[in-house]
Structure 1
Amino acid sequence: MTAKRSLIRRTTALAAATTAALVLAACGGKADSGSTPHNSHEGTASASASASAQPSTAQGANNTADTAFAKGMIPHHRQALEMAGLAATRAESAEVKALADEIKKAQDPEIKTLSGWLTSWGEQVPAADSAQGGHSGHSMSGMMTGEEMDQLSKASGKAFDTAFLQLMVKHHEGAVAMAKTEQSTGKFQPAKDMAAAIISSQSAEITRMNGLLGKN
């Protein structure tokens, strides 16, 4: 009888242990189930982070002012490079030659950058002849007329230096005005940054050129 009771107790204890294990497993299952929403929350948070990154990308998008700036500044810079290219063989002043070289080094890379932006925006890059006194050139601030470019190309020595400085001051003033418009109405931050650099560097060059004109 005692042995039988002992067997019953062991059986009951085993059943209780099994039940307890099942309960714990069920609780663990619920905990795991609870972890799913947690993981889901992390996924949502990650998605939210990605979504929050989107506006910053959108803020980097361009507007019509940015497009106009790029399309205008490319032929504007091209004409400056054409003018600067004449200085190597026609200028008498070493200072004028040095200035012309600096203009080429600064503006050629900017043309490439501006062209890249237009291409990425699905816009057409201005044709290479748009800086040669064409209609689009005349409509931009500070651009030389075909006649002015012809006169500069035929000048040499001290006469070239004076004409180059006078025309380039006017040209730079036009570029600064275009850059200020971009700063106030543009949206694409890299373009606004370039505009700021143009305002700073070309304003300094205007002061420098006016100083050189005072020496002539």
Structure 2
Amino acid sequence: MRTPVTAPMPLLLVALLVSGCAPGSPGPAETAPPTAAPSTSAPPTATPPTDAPTGRMPSTGTAGQFNATDIAWLQLTVAMTERLLPVLDMVPSRTTDPAWRQLAAQLGAAHREDLGRARRLLAESGAPATNPHEGHDMPGMVTDEELAALRSATGVAFHRLAGQHVRAHLAQAVRIGAAEQRSGLHPATTALATAVVRTGSAEVARLDRMGQERGVGGLDSPRSSW
């Protein structure tokens, strides 16, 4: 297993992981200055535009605005999901276990739906279409080397490796989803994060039960936490 590449995290990712601001709480840039008394010798100044910079990105569709946490969470969710889907797609050809096949089919369908929603929200936010995590090996992301190892594994060995990667993804998705719930602003984005946390937690428990029933322990991945 390759050691994750150490690289400076993008600014928006830092905002996602360390932000403790409550949703909607005004930051320094959003605090209105004291109102000055009107001058009797000069005409009143023009009212500042309502779209003055506030550190938030305007929404063009769904009601509400996007903040840095929303954007960071959507970008990371897209990147993580794109790395997970190849793992789920190879399950039918690598195992005949019906429980694994059912799990992969259900997770694949759910993650493709979430991926579509995340991409649409990113487009709505006006964020760049490029993937800021391209080439990064981060918690919850399956590397090319790990995919190659899965392709050469079968039976119990495949179940163990696939279980590690799927569980690492789900655990990290729950963690960053909770951060979006705490600090996100855009209603549709936080709603998606809530759904990811709820289903991810349930699927982690399901995966752990499968491992116990089949005697496949060691599903924790060394890259499952920051």
Same fold (TM over 0.5): yes
In 2: Cα distance, 1:154 partner to 1:125 partner? 34
4+ residue stretches of structure 1 with deviation over 4 A?
none
Identity of aligned residues (%): 24
Q: Which has the higher contact order (CA 8 A, sep 6+)?
A: 2
What's 1:71 paired with?
A: 75
In 1: Cα distance, 2:62 partner to 2:109 partner? 32
Structure exhibiting the larger radius of gyration computed from Cα positions: 1
2:75 maps to amino acid: K
In 1: Cα distance, 2:210 partner to 2:180 partner? 29
In 2: Cα distance, 1:112 partner to 1:126 partner? 16
What's 1:177 paired with?
A: 175
- Is the CA contact (8 Å cut-off) linking 1:71 and 1:125 kept in structure 2? no
Change beyond 3 A, Cα 1:58–1:70? closer
Q: State which of 87, 94, 100 in structure 2 corresponds to 1:96.
A: 100
Give the secondary structure class of the aligned counterpart of 2:126: coil
Change beyond 3 A, Cα 1:109–1:59? closer
Residue 106 (str. 1) matches residue 110 (str. 2): yes
TM-score after normalising by structure 1: 0.66
In 1: Cα distance, 2:62 partner to 2:124 partner? 14
1:126 offset after TM fit, Å?
4.1
1:121 offset after TM fit, Å?
1.6
1:123 offset after TM fit, Å?
1.3
1:59 offset after TM fit, Å?
6.7
Cα-Cα RMSD: 2.1
Aligned length: 154
Give the secondary structure class of the aligned counterpart of 1:142: coil
TM-score after normalising by structure 2: 0.63
Q: State which of 176, 198, 201 in structure 1 corresponds to 2:199.
A: 201
In 2: Cα distance, 1:179 partner to 1:99 partner? 21
Q: State which of 84, 87, 91 in structure 1 corresponds to 2:91.
A: 87
1:163 maps to amino acid: L
Consecutive unaligned residues in structure 1, runs of 5 or more: 1-56
